[in-house]
């Protein structure tokens, strides 16, 4: 697993549904620990972590289970997040959920009407045609020697964003205060939805 965007962590899932996220100083150490774990002859050791995510998804049969309504939408999305390397144990890789609806003005939504859903062929930032044009211009004009061209300069999921949305729950309140140099963020930005 990655921790702070470096491949220095292991996440171990136990049969009792608990998990442990361990971060090490270097990738070399994590590889040595991982190899040692794989050499153990424990009866419940499942070596799924050595598969590519696409193969793991296929082997788990999650999509078929979801289609047959054997698992809920939430369970399906959580499993997809886990397979993709997302975890509650790292704020920079916190689980995400898709934004699927684009109609926020209708009194009622007809879920059979395709016009209420966003265009899944485009990323979120390109849903609006004006934004899409701006992103295309930015991509074509930007050519960083190291990074190359890119559409977005920041990631949609990061520790600050997670802390912003979960600020009313501990330990996220304390982590948010720590992130903001010992105080809450500017009230107008932090608590804009409160009367």
Average pLDDT over residues 54-81: 91
Output the pLDDT for position 50. 59
Q: Per residue in 49-62, pLDDT tens?
A: 556 778 888 888 89
Output the pLDDT for position 74. 94
Say yes or no to pLDDT of 194 above 80: no
Confidence of residue 31 (pLDDT cuts 50, 70, 90): very high
Long-range CB pairs of 121-128, under 8 A, 24+ apart, other chains included: 123/151, 123/152, 124/99, 124/156, 125/151, 125/152, 126/151, 127/102
- Measure CA 66 to chain center: 20
Say yes or no to pLDDT of 182 above 80: yes
Say yes or no to pLDDT of 135 above 70: yes
How much is the pTM? 0.72
Q: What is the mean pLDDT of the chain?
A: 85
- Pick from 22-31, 40-49, 68-77, 115-124: least confident: 40-49
φ/ψ bin of 31: left (φ > 0), alpha (ψ from -120 to 50), beta (otherwise): alpha
């Amino acid at each position: 697993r990655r921790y702070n965007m470096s491949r220095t962590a292991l996440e171990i899932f136990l049969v009792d549904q608990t998990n442990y996220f361990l971060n090490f100083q270097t990738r070399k150490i994590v590889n040595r620990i991982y190899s040692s774990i794989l050499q153990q002859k424990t009866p419940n050791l499942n070596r799924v972590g050595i598969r590519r995510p696409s193969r793991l998804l296929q082997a788990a049969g999650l999509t078929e289970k979801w289609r047959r309504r054997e698992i809920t939408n939430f369970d399906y999305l959580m499993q997809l997040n886990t397979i993709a390397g997302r975890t509650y144990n790292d704020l920079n890789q916190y689980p995400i959920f898709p934004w699927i609806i684009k109609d926020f003005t209708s009194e009622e939504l007809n879920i059979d009407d395709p016009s209420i859903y966003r265009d899944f062929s485009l990323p979120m930032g390109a849903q609006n045609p004006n934004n899409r044009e701006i992103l295309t211009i930015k991509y074509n004009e930007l050519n960083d020697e190291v990074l190359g061209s890119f559409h977005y300069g920041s990631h949609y999921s990061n520790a600050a964003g997670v802390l912003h949305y979960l600020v009313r729950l501990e330990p996220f309140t304390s982590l948010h205060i720590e992130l903001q140099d010992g105080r809450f963020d500017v009230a107008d930005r932090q608590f804009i939805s409160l009367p």
